[in-house]
């Protein structure tokens, strides 16, 4: 039924919004938008599952903004999001598209001044977006009243469910109108959320764009095996090789995050951190600086895994492997959004390699091993060939090495194809907030550190590549005659 829908207007979206969309370069609805918008306009309850980065936000915001009566001073729509960052991202979209309609928006998130939020609430903003904790707080003190809320949206519903459980969600819903419209969305809607939907929704429209396909098809998934102590070095080489404009580096534990940040900065890779326990202002500043390109690597816990839409994010690195395939989906889902190319790289020890096979199986997606060898990213077979080539004493790097590594890796995110992979050139880019830094510039950061660890000057002699994983070095030294 959606196949021949070409325009938002045909879905029932009015001119004020279609004009606003065009202003932001959005002309055609995405499949999930084409499916969900008519139901949401009708007032139906909706369960929507589609891959990360497929436009779920506008799938609910557009029809809901349109249904808001701006003349009534009532909070008519409530959107619940699991993290401050995601809530604020939704607020910004709400403001962008609500403004031409005369719709007002408020963000209710933890860490920020409750008093100011309460003051703003007095004006009864039409669209309320918040995190569960702050919403609960304001509801329990009756500062926020939902008796006029006609619609409640749970964005990343399964995550909200995991945070507080069904009772928590029910408590949040209690204040809203009895016949309110309820909308749940995620790339991963498990049985728990579906059971809750069964209980709370009336005859929901279950819209899904290939719900079994959870990962964006435009993202390539690779992993590199190394010794535990070489993780950071592999990360450094992956970043140097792919040279992304921006990348998120996911870690599993907040207590080591500062150390990772320090090491990366020490290596000349501009990095900052985002994690749940940091204060709200820091979190907001870091994220906005990341969006605007002030630094290149965001080292984050899974708090950054849900829903964030960051332009130009070409690479996601799992410095620690994701805890399960669902977490993997959301982390990897920060890249490869809305048809763009993306690359998801996991760094694992040999004992963690099975996790990659497990995710691969569960997600029905190829997650392929790669090896960093002599500045190139190779498949195991290519690496083997290269090694035996080296053994036959042909140390000269073939002309195709780097480009082959890149095209073979497919999703080479940085289109600076011709750029050499040399440490000096790419560290200049890593240091600079602008990517157009002179490629010849030397690393003003810690030249000693990166020269000492890098493969500079050692490119033609693989055994000098000190950053190589130990198992690779061992293999090499047993084969390399030099
Ligand atoms: P999801 O919630 O499914 O992960 P988002 O709603 O964050 O995805 O949307 C991903 C990106 O796609 C955003 O940058 C958004 O502005 C953009 N986008 C949304 N709808 C469209 C569309 N119809 N055409 C092009 N880009 C779109
Ligand atoms: Mg989303």
Position 63 scores a pLDDT of: 98
Nearest residue (CA) to ligand 1, atom 23: 29
79 C-alpha to ligand 2 centroid (Å): 12
Rounded mean pLDDT of 269-283? 94
Mean pLDDT (the chain) is 83
Fold match between 2-208 and 219-390? yes
Position 419 scores a pLDDT of: 34
126: which residues sit within 8 A by CB, 6+ positions away?
A: 68, 70, 72, 74, 75, 76, 77, 98, 103, 104, 105
pLDDT tens track for 353-389: 999 999 999 999 999 999 998 889 999 999 988 888 8
**In this model, does residue 459 exceed pLDDT 90?**
no
Q: What percent of the chain is modeled with pLDDT above 90?
A: 69
DSSP symbols for 416-450: -TTS---HHHHHHHHHSSSTT--TT---SS-HHHH
**In this model, does residue 434 exceed pLDDT 60?**
no
DSSP state of 296: S
Position 165 scores a pLDDT of: 84
**Residue 207: in which H helix or E strand, if any?**
strand 205-209
Rounded mean pLDDT of 255-282? 95
Ligand 1 neighbours, Cβ below 6 Å, are 26, 28-30, 33, 52-58, 307, 309, 337-338
Rounded mean pLDDT of 29-39? 97
Nearest residue (CA) to ligand 1, atom 26: 26
- The encoded tokens of residue 123 equal 């004006």
How far apart (Å, rounded) are the C-alpha atoms in residues 445 and 452?
Answer: 13
Position 178 scores a pLDDT of: 80
CATH code of 219-390, in short, is 3.40.50.300
**In this model, does residue 163 exceed pLDDT 60?**
yes
In angstroms, the first-to-last Cα distance of the chain is: 66
Q: Order of strands, edge to edge, in the sheet holding 368-373?
A: 271-274, 297-300, 246-250, 313-318, 342-348, 219-225, 368-373, 376-378
CATH code of 2-208, in short, is 3.40.50.300
Q: pLDDT-derived band of residue 395, with 50, 70 and 90 as boundaries?
A: low
Q: Which atom of ligand 1 is nearest to the CA of 29?
A: 23
100 C-alpha to ligand 2 centroid (Å): 22
Position 463 scores a pLDDT of: 40
Position 4 scores a pLDDT of: 53
Position 52 scores a pLDDT of: 95
- The encoded tokens of residue 187 equal 């790339």
Rounded mean pLDDT of 413-429? 37
DSSP state of 180: -
Kindly list the domain boundaries of the chain, sorted by start residue: 2-208, 219-390
Q: What percent of the chain is modeled with pLDDT above 70?
A: 80
pLDDT tens track for 52-102: 999 999 999 999 999 999 999 999 999 999 999 999 999 999 999 999 999
Least confident of 118-122, 181-185, 268-272, 294-298: 118-122
pLDDT tens track for 332-355: 999 999 999 999 999 999 999 999
**In this model, does residue 423 exceed pLDDT 60?**
no
Position 456 scores a pLDDT of: 35
Position 212 scores a pLDDT of: 84
Nearest ligand to residue 156 Cα: 2
Position 5 scores a pLDDT of: 56
Rounded mean pLDDT of 105-124? 90
**In this model, does residue 432 exceed pLDDT 70?**
no
């Amino acid at each position: 039924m959606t196949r021949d829908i070409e325009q938002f207007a045909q879905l029932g979206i009015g001119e004020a919004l279609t004009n606003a969309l065009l202003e932001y370069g959005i002309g055609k609805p995405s499949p999930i938008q084409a499916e969900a918008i008519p139901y949401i306009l009708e007032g139906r309850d909706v369960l929507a599952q589609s891959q990360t980065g497929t436009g779920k936000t506008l799938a609910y915001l557009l029809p809901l903004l349109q249904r808001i009566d701006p003349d009534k001073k009532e909070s008519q729509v409530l959107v619940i999001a699991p993290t401050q960052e995601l809530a604020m991202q939704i607020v910004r979209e709400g403001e962008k598209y609500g403004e031409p309609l005369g719709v007002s928006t408020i963000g209710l998130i933890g860490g920020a001044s409750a008093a100011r939020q309460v003051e703003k609430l007095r004006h009864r903003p039409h669209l309320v977006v918040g995190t569960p904790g702050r919403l609960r707080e304001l509801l329990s003190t009756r500062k926020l009243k939902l008796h006029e809320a006609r619609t409640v949206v749970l964005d990343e519903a399964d995550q909200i469910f995991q945070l507080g459980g069904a009772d928590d969600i029910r408590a949040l819903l209690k204040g809203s109108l009895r016949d309110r419209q309820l909308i749940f969305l995620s790339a991963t809607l498990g049985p728990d959320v579906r059971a809750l939907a069964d209980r709370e929704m009336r005859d929901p429209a279950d819209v899904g764009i290939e719900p079994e396909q959870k990962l964006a098809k435009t993202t390539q998934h690779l992993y590199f095996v190394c010794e535990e102590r070489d993780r950071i070095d592999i990360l450094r080489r992956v970043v140097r090789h792919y040279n992304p404009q921006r990348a998120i580096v996911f870690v599993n534990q907040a207590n080591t995050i500062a150390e990772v940040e320090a090491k990366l900065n020490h290596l000349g890779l501009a990095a900052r951190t985002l994690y749940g326990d940091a204060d709200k202002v820091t979190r907001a500043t870091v994220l906005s600086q990341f969006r605007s390109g002030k630094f290149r690597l965001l080292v984050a816990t899974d708090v950054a895994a849900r829903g964030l839409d960051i332009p130009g994010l070409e690479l996601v690195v799992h410095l620690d492997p994701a805890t399960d395939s669902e977490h993997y989906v959301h982390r990897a889902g920060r890249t490869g959004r809305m048809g763009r190319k993306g690359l998801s790289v996991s760094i694992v020890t040999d004992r963690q390699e099975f996790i990659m096979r497990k995710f691969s199986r569960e997600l029905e997606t190829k997650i392929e091993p790669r090896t960093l060898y002599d500045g190139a990213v190779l498949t195991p077979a290519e690496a083997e060939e290269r090694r035996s080539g080296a053994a036959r004493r042909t140390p000269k790097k073939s002309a195709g090495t780097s480009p082959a590594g890149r095209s073979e890796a497919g999703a080479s995110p940085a289109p600076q194809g011709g750029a050499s992979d040399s440490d000096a050139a790419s560290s200049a880019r890593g240091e600079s907030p602008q990517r157009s830094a002179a490629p010849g510039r030397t690393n003003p950061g810690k030249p000693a550190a990166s020269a000492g660890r890098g493969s500079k000057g050692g490119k033609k002699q693989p055994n000098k590549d000190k950053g190589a994983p130990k198992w690779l070095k061992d293999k090499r030294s047993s084969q390399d005659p030099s």
